[in-house]
Structure 1
Amino acid sequence: MRALLRTLSPLLGLALAAVGVILVIEVVTAWVRPASSGLVVPWPAWQLVLSELTWSDRPVKVVSICVAVVGLLLLLIALLARRHDVALTAPTPEMTVATSPQVLARLVGRTVRASDDVAAATVSASARTVVVRAEGWPDPDGSFRGLTDTVRGRVSTLLDELPLARRPRISVSTRGRKEPR
């Protein structure tokens, strides 16, 4: 959502800037040539059409509903794009401590990759869940149960050591490496 908001904000800014430039052009044109019909926008024709509309006409209702829906969508996007910090326990009640999910993911990833069983790992984290996708070598019986248990144990130990206000759920998936150890 934040990427959408970062894309949408400059586009809306450019659209408003373009409307402002057109408005300035039209005002200057009206000052220079008072009897003109507008340089870019046909104001007199628009005024004639709009003077015949009432608030109960269908085009007015459709435009107002469209504007309301777009406004609500923009509001929803802005609300969903907020930061999703991971809360930590504060040393005093007057203090609030938090970290970003990326920092937690980096910390868990570094811990998981330090294991000899793990060849590579990808970690994503949020305040609710830590998802680890690890690659390693299979056990002698061909299963990955030992690797999964090792990774889950390391992540669980790390999360126990961190001063997290709420412990996230751990999800571990493993797959095998093709090359030899």
Structure 2
Amino acid sequence: MRPFVRFLTALLGLLLLAAGAVLLAELVWTAIPPLEGTFLLERTSLEAELRTLSWNAPVVRAGAAVTAVLGALLLLFGLRAGRGDVRLHDPAEGVAVVTGPRSLARLVGRKVREQEGVAKATVVARRKAVRVTAVSEFTEVGDLERRLADTARATIDDLPLVTTPRVSVTVRPTKRS
């Protein structure tokens, strides 16, 4: 989500920069006395077209609706783009302790990969959930899924987390050669 918000922010910034540059060029062009007309925008035809529109025109209402929806979406994306830090219990008054989801995923992943029978594992951690996807070294999974779920839960339980995230584990057998 964060890269998407960064992309949107950069795109909107560039659009506003371009609009400001055009406006500035137009103002400078009309402020210089020897020059006639406009630089980029034909102001007289634009003014004539805008004078024919009323506030109740479908084009104006559609433009307002599109602007409102885009604004609401940008606000929603902006609010959801937080880092999603995982809070830990505060050790003292006025001290807040957090860790990132990536650190939590590394810790759980290291413990899961240490288990016997795991060929490889990927872990994705969020504030409310930890998802483990592992591949068994063998063609039979057996009780590996239960053992990995217990290991992941025990690792998370050992941490002083304020809220305990859900743990989901998926184990696939290795492919036969």
* Shared fold (TM-score, shorter chain, > 0.5): yes
The 2-side partners of 1:48 and 1:38 are apart by: 15
Q: Which amino acid in the other structure matches residue 120 of structure 1?
A: K
SS of equivalent to 1:8: helix
Deviations 1:118-143 (A, max 9, x none): 111010111221111111234xxx64
Give 2:170's aligned amino acid.
S
- The match for 2:57 is 57
Distance in 2 of aligned mates of 1:149 and 1:68:
49
Query: Does the CA contact (< 8 Å) of 1:37 and 1:44 recur in 2?
Result: no
- The corresponding residue for 1:147 is 144
Further displaced range: 109-118 or 60-69: 60-69
**8 Å Cα contact 1:111/1:154 also seen in 2:** yes
Quick check: 1:133–1:172 contact (8 Å CA) kept in 2? yes
What residue is the counterpart of 1:157 in the other structure? 154
Across the aligned residues of Structure 1 and Structure 2, the Cα RMSD in angstroms comes to: 2.0
Work out the percentage of aligned pairs sharing the same amino acid.
Answer: 37
Paired with 1:95 and 1:149, the residues of 2 have a C-alpha distance of: 37
Q: Report how many aligned residue pairs link the two structures.
A: 177
Structure 1 residue runs of 4 or more that deviate by more than 4 Å after TM superposition = none
1:114 match: 114
Distance 2:66 2:33 in 1: 35
Report the AA paired with residue 127 of structure 2.
Answer: A
Paired residue type of 1:60: V
Q: How does 1:96-107 map to 2 (within 5 A)?
A: 96-107=96-107
Within 5 Å, which residues of 2 pair with 1:1-181? 1-33=1-33, 36-138=36-138, 143-178=140-175
- SS of structure 2 residue aligned to 1:144: coil
TM-score (norm 1): 0.87
Aligned 8 A contact 1:111 1:155 in 2: yes
Flag structure 1 segments of 5+ consecutive residues without an equivalent.
none
- Give the Cα–Cα distance (whole angstroms) in 2 for the partners of residues 119 and 64 of structure 1: 56
Q: Find the aligned partners of 2:14 and 2:3 in 1 and give their Cα distance.
A: 17
Per-residue CA deviation, residues 76-99 of structure 1 (Å, 9 max, x unaligned), is 111121221111111124322211
1:166, distance to aligned residue in structure 2 (A):
1.4
Q: CA deviation at 1:147?
A: 1.3
